[in-house]
Structure 1
Amino acid sequence: MTVQMPISARAFALVLAAFCLAQIAAAQTRPGSANAKGTASAQAGDAPPSMSVVEWLQRMHTGARQRNYVGTFVVSAAGGDLSSARIWHVRDGDLQIERIEALSGPPRSTFRRNHHVMTFLPEAKVVKVEKRENLDLFPNLPDKPDSSIGDFYDVRAIGKDRVAGFDADVVQLVPHDGLRFGYRIWSERRSGLVVKLQTVDAESRVVEQSAFSELQLDAPVKAQALAQMMTNTSGYRVEKLELERTSAQDEGWVLKAPVAGFKPRSFYRRPAGSDDKAGQDRTVQWTFSDGLASVSLFIERYDEKRAPRDGVLTIGATNAIRRRLPEPASDWWLTAVGEVPQQTLNAFAQSLARTR
């Protein structure tokens, strides 16, 4: 199994209104319910002087979906890694459609039409097609939010600023524990669209920053034009990724102790390989989110011939660990990926257990 690790899945997803890991991300479930009056105020214009964590996040969540925009989005990590993409986003009634063109690294174009995602890889002449029910949004609010996000984050308004020529409100989300990062968020004052984000560690160091370097709000982008580009696969080999929904219980996995604030979002089996008998060796993916941060657990059969060594990897705000599970599950291999501190991934790894 290969785990792709861009600088930040959530970083691009925060403005896309819907998209990237599972990686890594992720996918992004925990916010609280804002009252109707507060939500209406947040959508109508300037942000009220005092809002709860949930009201701020609902405002940003809505801002990413209700506006057409075109912009250049740049993500930088503390270690010097830098990536950028050109983004086109259109809302047409219930339709959300986006185009994301990588401006750095290997050529790549990703299109999303609601839950349907197509990634064009020009060098390989391949199009990867998939459906994502749990999209990596930032903020990662479900349709019916619960009221627990305030148990793990506080919000502090820290002033005003300008980003890409737009006035922005700046807030800081401060975690209550060391299991999650903090965030400084710049949201466009009128719409709530997130225009800049800093991910901050326990020492107040910025581990990753993402921002629009250039942005056009209410840009004249046509949904039909993007849809036609998305469906033009002439000259490409189409590869469909069909994930099979299942459950941790059915697959024989459990967390002996929950990791505070992180709730399960989905559980899938990935496509079987040619040498897989009866689906027994398929990789499974278990995703969790606290509404802002997400963690994905990829579990596969241990293969001594191809298994890499135990190890850790850090790129910006994204951490990953790989390890062979201890007895009695030592014939399984775990890869845990998330935009969380490494200790959070360790907590998941230590709690994961086989039930059969």
Structure 2
Amino acid sequence: MLAALLSGLVLPAVADQGASGAAAQVVSRERSISEWLLRMHEASRRRAYIGTLVVSSGGSMASARVWHVCDGEQQMERVESLTGTPRSTFRRNDEVVTFSPLSRVAVAEKREALGLFPHLLKTVDAAIEQHYSASPQGSERVAGFEADIVQLTPRDSLRFGYRIWSEKRTGLVVKLQTLDDQGRVLEQVAFSELQLDAPVSMDKLSRMMGNTEGYKVESPALVKTTPAAEGWRLVQEVPGFRAMSCYRRPTASGVDAVQWAFSDGLASVSVFIEAYDPRHHGQEGLQALGATHALVRRVMAGGTSWWLTLVGEVPAQTLQAFSQGLERTR
């Protein structure tokens, strides 16, 4: 969710600012959900800002200081945790380095590209419109800025909804809520303080990101693979979700796990598959923290015991559907 807010949203413009609210809504509704979402994604490439983010989820709260700058196709961020364990994260496009001052460890890895809903551009437009609708919800002030509100409503029970506040002038997202099927807020991320068009130096952030002196640098080895090569397939697809990537990655037990990632363009699900080891794997079950659900279970397939971990900002039944659709092919 934090990565989702570190981006921008441009709402459809109303040519006549004196138009009535009803007329403005008519103009807004002329845009498709795909057009709204593409505007959200593109706006993340245009803004430089400094701000303080507050995340509320599952009764807990955390905050972080954020620096963000763009230079053509290159984006950089610095995120400093203000609560909990001290941690500094630097990100340049898909390159990420996380510094842990207490342990003196820096973890360098690759992650999804920056932006709101990073899988959006890999998803067929019509598929998104089949599963979500968009509607304007008026405006409010957030962090001292007037913001337009848009709500993305799912058309089925396999995904959550979103309510997004975007600063009127720039389109930067200043607040985002994830909603359950009753419209209740599961998770919220919002700026409590924000400086737009801030003088953020990309060169300075690059130097800080590369300064690992005094830190043990760890680089988890990710190996690109395919489900077929690993001996797995999804016999029953989950409506709207498409496979995005598949990697082998190391685990704490020392045995590689397969990570198979899916997205419907907005929501994402990761499926982790590894050989079952009673020394490292505990109790099966479902856990939830705000909008994030995690399902862990042991399964028998191909004469071998496997440990499945499914994680995503989706309802529990979506994870169940993925779990039940997996099949061993060898």
Do the two structures share a fold, i.e. TM-score over 0.5? yes
Which among 283, 293, 296 is matched to residue 267 of structure 2? 293
After TM superposition, list the pairs within 5 Å mapping 1:66-215 onto structure 2.
66-77=46-57, 79-132=58-111, 134-135=112-113, 137-143=115-121, 145-147=123-125, 148-215=127-194
Of the structure 1 ranges 110-119 and 190-199, higher mean CA displacement relative to structure 2 is found in 190-199
Task: Spell out, residue by residue over 1:56-80, the C-alpha distance to the aligned partner (whole angstroms, 9 max, x if none).
Answer: 2122212222100111111102x31
Task: Spell out, residue by residue over 1:82-109, the C-alpha distance to the aligned partner (whole angstroms, 9 max, x if none).
Answer: 1111110010122211101111110010
Which among 304, 322, 329 is matched to residue 296 of structure 2? 322
Is the Cα contact below 8 Å between 2:134 and 2:152 reproduced in 1? yes
C-alpha change, 1:234 and 1:138, in structure 2 (3 Å) is same
Which among 31, 36, 45 is matched to residue 65 of structure 1? 45
Shift of 1:144: 5.5
C-alpha change, 1:317 and 1:300, in structure 2 (3 Å) is same
Shift of 1:282: 1.5
Which of the two has greater strand per residue?
2
The answer to whether the aligner puts 1:350 opposite 2:329 as a matched pair is no
Task: Spell out, residue by residue over 1:24-55, the C-alpha distance to the aligned partner (whole angstroms, 9 max, x if none).
Answer: xxxxxxxxxxxxxxx9976x9x9963322122
Task: Spell out, residue by residue over 1:279-325, the C-alpha distance to the aligned partner (whole angstroms, 9 max, x if none).
Answer: xx411100001111100011111012322010211111000011001
Report SS of the residue matched to 2:265.
coil
C-alpha change, 1:299 and 1:140, in structure 2 (3 Å) is same
Shift of 1:143: 4.0
Unaligned residue ranges in structure 1 (runs of 5+): 1-10, 19-38
Aligned residues: 318
Is the Cα contact below 8 Å between 1:324 and 1:330 reproduced in 2? no
**CA distance in 2 between partners of 1:167 and 1:108 (Å):** 32
The answer to whether the aligner puts 1:302 opposite 2:283 as a matched pair is no
Is the Cα contact below 8 Å between 2:78 and 2:91 reproduced in 1? yes
Query: Given the two structures, how large is their TM-score scaled by the length of structure 2?
Result: 0.90
Paired residue for 1:14?
Answer: 4
Query: Given the two structures, how large is their TM-score scaled by the length of structure 1?
Result: 0.84
**CA distance in 1 between partners of 2:260 and 2:136 (Å):** 34
Letter in 1 for 2:3: A
Task: Spell out, residue by residue over 1:161-216, the C-alpha distance to the aligned partner (whole angstroms, 9 max, x if none).
Answer: 11111111111111011100011111112222211111111121111111111111
Shift of 1:15: 2.9
Unaligned residue ranges in structure 2 (runs of 5+): 18-23
Is the Cα contact below 8 Å between 2:11 and 2:166 reproduced in 1? no
Letter in 2 for 1:344: T
